[in-house]
Amino acid sequence: MILVDTNVIVALADRSDTAHELCRRWLEEQTDELALPITVLAEACYLIDRFGGPIAEAQFLDSVGSEPARQFRPVDLTDADLRRMSELVRQYADRRLGGTDASLVAVAERLGITTIATVNRRDFDNVRPRHVPAFTIVPT
């Protein structure tokens, strides 16, 4: 399973995004299950609607769900995830990790996920998760 960051979703939805082609090619090659913490889902909906409109947002939502035909599986946050997010935001305050990125780390730790799809390497290259020395970052 791979956790997907908001910037990958937005790049996929916006053909003018500089990372669109990179993310599109990466998505076409995926055989792993792709998951989104609900924080990523909410942030992506907001940004896609803001820059692409409600039809683009609806198209994205069509790709999310637990059914096998859906590309992205939503992952709920637990109370433990929220506590860990708080710790991470404090620990990386100088880097302004933020709640959404912290949720990716917390969910990855809980589910034992080692790969994160993001075009924001800066944050995730510097984070030290509890369960592995470092995350594998894709696409490259």
Taking the chain (140 residues) in consecutive chunks of 10 residues, what is each chunk's mean pLDDT? 97 94 95 96 97 94 86 96 98 93 98 96 88 94
Reported pTM: 0.93
- Identify the pLDDT of residue 21: 97
- Identify the pLDDT of residue 136: 95
Say how many residues make up the chain: 140
Instruction: Give the three-class secondary structure for 23.
Output: helix
- Identify the pLDDT of residue 123: 80
3.40.50.1010, 3.40.50.150, 3.30.110.70, 3.30.450.20: CATH of 2-138: 3.40.50.1010
Query: What pLDDT digit, counting tens, does each position of 53-73 carry?
Result: 999 999 999 999 988 778 999
- Identify the pLDDT of residue 38: 98
- Identify the pLDDT of residue 82: 98
Peptide bond into 139 cis (omega under 30): yes
Asked whether residue 101 is marked as a ligand-binding residue, the answer is yes
Instruction: Name the region of 139 (left: φ>0; alpha: ψ -120 to 50; beta: rest).
Output: beta
- In DSSP terms, which residues pair with 64 in a beta bridge? 72
- Identify the pLDDT of residue 68: 78
